[in-house]
Amino acid sequence: MKTFAMLPKLFKTLWRPVSGLVFAALSACALCTPVHAQILEPKDLFNWAEAAFPTLFPGKQADQVLGPYVLRYYPDTQTYLGVTDGEVYALGPPTGGQLLRLNTLAAFQCTVFPERCTAQVADMASTGLSYGKSVTITITGSGVSVAGLRIARTSWCTDYKNILMDDPRLISFSCTINGSGPLAVQLQDANGGVLLSKTFTVPHPQVKLQTTLGDMVFELYPASAPVSVRNYLQYVDGGFYPGTLFHRVIPNFVVQAGGYTTGLAFKPPTFASIALESNNGLKNSRGTLAMARAADPNSATSQFYLNLVNNTGLDYAGSGFVGYAVFGAVVSGLPVMDAIAAVPTSTQQGAPDVPVSEVVILGAQRVR
């Protein structure tokens, strides 16, 4: 950082009585927040530092310009803030000449003023509770920007990130949800002590399937069949299903879709086959959604079927018959499923049970 070598000389001129000077450099890009795409003006940088670390920067004096630097002095703590070239520096009480970065500045505040640096947590809220999506957990209170607070890790959330806030009363974290049902979240201090616990409910994901005979809504169960649900949603989110057919209809058994287009043209899958999840406690009951596959138990890709009746013969029965993996159910549109089952069929291109009038999937999208 080319300006850093110049900064100690400048501050020594301004603050001769102090030795063992402490500097903290805050990158302007590091200060970008969900509210501000980029902070450029010195006053904005000063205001951010004052809001984030009020015990370090109280009782400000008027700004002054000295060469390339804009300075603000805080007599209560004998601390300077200086801005140049889009970066802000803090010069405070002596702590052995330690160079501090953004992620340790809050800890520096607590070292200098430990009696004023206790987090008081008021509440915890969430936004974006949806399977496979990023959720944001926001904690409110006083002093919650103190370094060391963290969210306890859970297997239902991955890719944890801290979100930099410009308000000392807020701290936010994000992670990607890979489960559904109750999600217990714990806020911990630096020693692992629990400051606040709260349970949020992650709804089961749902997919709306639009067909030429009407619409259905499927609810998926990632807690029981995580691999199958993730696979199915990859095809849904990737736009694979529109234009494909319900190509196999067997009354009092199943209707099957997701592998052929108009004229019974095969549509190759776009993802690798998945491991069988039939031993998951879910049964092939009427209205359930399951993965179709070939003789190889681990060959399921894009094709799925709906059970028209309770097909206990398709359930997992041990190593002698591994069965077929159920991963969801129809929660709206069972009459549409039955209407598909009522379409007359014939043998076409050597394939039996093909509807004589094509039943086309017009759309497939997540609705929850």
Predicted confidence at residue 302, as pLDDT, reads 98
User: Is 149 or 30 the better-scoring residue by pLDDT?
Assistant: 149
Residue 111 has pLDDT above 60, yes or no: no
Query: Where is average pLDDT lowest: 76-85, 151-160, 171-180, 248-257?
Result: 76-85
Would residue 26 count as lying in a domain? Answer: yes
Position 7 pLDDT exceeds 60 = no
- Does any domain span residue 1? no
What mean pLDDT comes out for the span 202-220? 98
- Contact criterion met (CB below 8 Å) for 282 and 288: yes
Q: Which residue has the higher pLDDT, 34 or 355?
A: 355
Question: Do 192 and 112 belong together in one domain?
Answer: no
Same domain, 175 and 298: no
What is the mean pLDDT of the segment spanning 24-38?
33
275 and 333 together in one domain: yes
Residue 244 to residues 115, 215, 247, Cα–Cα distance (Å):
66, 15, 8
Residue 67 pLDDT greater than 50, yes or no: yes
CA atoms within 13 A of residue 17's CA, in its CB half-sphere? 3
User: Residue 364: its pLDDT value, please?
Assistant: 98
Residue 88 belongs to a domain: yes
Q: Which one of 73, 91, 116 terminates a domain? A: 116
Whether residues 327 and 216 fall in one domain: yes
Whether residue 36 is contained in a domain is answered as: yes
CA dist., res. 280 & res. 284, Å (int)? 11
Q: Are residues 37 and 154 in the same domain?
A: no
The number of beta carbons lying within 10 Å of the beta carbon of residue 117 is 18
CA 20 to chain centre: 44
Model pLDDT, residue 89: 67
pLDDT of residue 351: 96
Domain stop point among 116, 132, 167: 116
Decide: pTM greater than 0.85.
Answer: no
pLDDT higher for 121 or 204? Answer: 204
Mean local confidence (pLDDT), 19-39:
34
* Same domain, residue pair 57 and 131: no
Q: 227-250: buried (b, 16+ CB within 10 Å) or exposed (e) per residue?
A: bbbbbbbebbeeebbeebbbbbbe
- 124 in a domain, yes or no? yes
Q: Given this model, what pLDDT does residue 152 score?
A: 86
Residue 42: phi and psi, rounded to 5, are -55, -40
Q: Are residues 183 and 308 in the same domain?
A: no
Identify the domain containing residue 58 by its residue range: 7-116
Give the pLDDT of residue 39: 35
Interval 233-248 mean pLDDT: 98
Residues 155 and 235 in one domain: no
Mean pLDDT of 83-112: 50
The per-residue pLDDT for 154 is 83
Same domain, 72 and 178: no
On whether both 336 and 310 belong to a single domain, the answer is yes
CATH number of the domain that residue 172 is part of: 2.60.40.10
pLDDT reported for residue 16: 37
2 pLDDT higher than 50: no
Residue 34: pLDDT band with limits 50, 70, 90:
very low
Residue 2 resides in a domain: no
Decide if pLDDT at 52 tops 70. Answer: no
CATH of the domain at 266: 2.40.100.10
Number of domains the chain is built from: 3
* Range 300-314 average pLDDT: 98
| Pair 239, 333 in one domain | yes
Residues 112 and 243 in one domain: no
End residue of a domain, out of 64, 82, 116: 116
> Contact at 8 Å (CB) between 93 and 22?
yes
Name residue, tokens 């310009």: 65
